[in-house]
Each structure stands twice: as C-alpha cells, then as structure tokens.
Amino acid sequence: MGFSQVLIFGSLVTCSLMGITVLGGDFVRDVDIVWGGDRAKILKNGEVLTLSLDKESGSAFQSKDQFLFGKISMQVKLVSGYSAGTVTSYYVASAGATWDEIDFEFLGNLSGDPYTVHTNVITSGKGDREQQFRLWFDPTIDFHTYSILWNPKTIIFYVDGTPIREFKNMMNASVNVPYPEKQPMRAHSSLWNADQWATRGGLVKTDWSKAPFTASFRNYEARACVWSINGSSTCGRGSSSWLREELDAYSLKRLRWVRTNFMIYDYCSDAKRFPRGFAPECSVRVDAH
C-alpha cells in the first residue's frame, strides 16, 4: 500500500504527501466535552483544559475531528499528591464493537510514589497488549509532551520525543498481526476512578477526602489526515514527515534505554497470564534490531 493512496472500506482515499496540520492551542475550536459537566473546564481563552474527578463523576473530552493516520500530541500535567485509584488517559480510538484504540493511561499513586504509564494497542476489539513503564521525571510538577504516532507502517509512543514503545504493521509478514488501518479515530482524554485495579492491582483505593483530583492539558496538536463525513480522508498543507516516520538508529538506542531502565511489565513475557503462548508479534522484537 502506497502512502499516497489508502484503501478504506473499498473506497479509494487520497492523501497527498503534504499532510495536514490541525493547529493546537484552542480547545474551544478543537475538542468537545463529552462527560463530566463542569468538571471539565476550558481556561485561558482555550489554551488550557482541566479535567477533574470527584466521588460523583470523572470527566472527559474528545477531538471534534476524526483521523486516519497522524501524529497526535498533547502536553499533560498529571494529578499531584495522593492520586491512588485514579487514571488519567490520553488515547485515540474508533467507534463500534470491533474498535481500534491506542492508549496512554497514567495510573495514580500514593504521594511520593512514581506514576505508572500503562500502554495498550487494541485492534478489532482485541487488546491484551499491555506494556507498563515508570517515568524518569515527576509528571505532576510541569507539563510534558505525550505523542502517538500512527502511520501505515508503525505505531510509536513518545514521551517528550523519546520513544518508549513501537508496534509495527505486520499484516503482510509471516505473523499476520491485525493492524489499525481502516477505521478513523478521534483523540480522547479522560480522568476517572479505577481503584479496582489502577494502583497496586486495586489494593490501594481512592481517598475521596482528597478530591477533587485534577489534571491539566495544553498544546493539543494533530498532524494528521482528517476523516470527513462522506467517508474520505484528506491530507492538505503542512509537514508530512510523520507519514513516513520510523525509528532511526538513535531512536532505537533511546527505546532500548527506556526498556532496560523503566519498563516494569511486558505482555510478551508474562507466561503466567498467557500459558498457551505469547501473541505472534512478540516474536518480532524492536529492541533486538
């Protein structure tokens, strides 16, 4: 499949190699609040958005546009102090029963403990591809940039420009692993209570006396092919480097550094959870390149 032509649901979708840029900096223009009422607030003339969680409800927003491939970035400052039981999520997802989804989830903690970054790739409604990491900084003191690169060849999770995970398109390889390439996705963020599993496997519960819990977002940016209501995807003016982006030698070195020093869980090595064998993509390891 060429980068300039993508076959979606039997119709030809044309994406010029120029790529479109959805400029960040205006949440009023770019997103919709989808639940939580006034727990989600757009501030500073659209420059900042905050999500809050209390005992009654969390909150969430999603992009107005849908995308078929893109590099979606957001700066996030996570819930500070005691955040056990909470999850702040940032992800892209399609709709329907057999949806596709690419996840960042930030699992809350006891005050002073590090956050866990939980990642997953769901294709055709099937996930179970979790990898978890610690961060090499305190994500509650300031904003940091989290990016999801999704193009026809690969998915890469970035933290401040450092790759922490790659999931390659292997549909035409011998392993024939499903890859999200047909369904348009929106960008989403939410803050919600998951104390049945989020912190130490659910052993530490949400302390509602410390609510409301608040996370902050800014500089949402989507360099992407925008999906239109008539079932077409258009890439217009702007940089298209993301459409061809892959890990170079330096990026692979950084990826190995993260995996060696900060990875705390990998579905590809959890024999207890998967006694019948690991997923087929586990035989093709990016850190072995």
Catalytic amino acids?
101, 105
Contact 207, 84 (CB under 8 A): yes
Contact 61, 49 (CB under 8 A): yes
Alpha-carbon separation of residue 247 from 241, 266, 271 (angstroms)? 12, 20, 28
Report CA torsion sign: 213, 218, 223, 229: positive
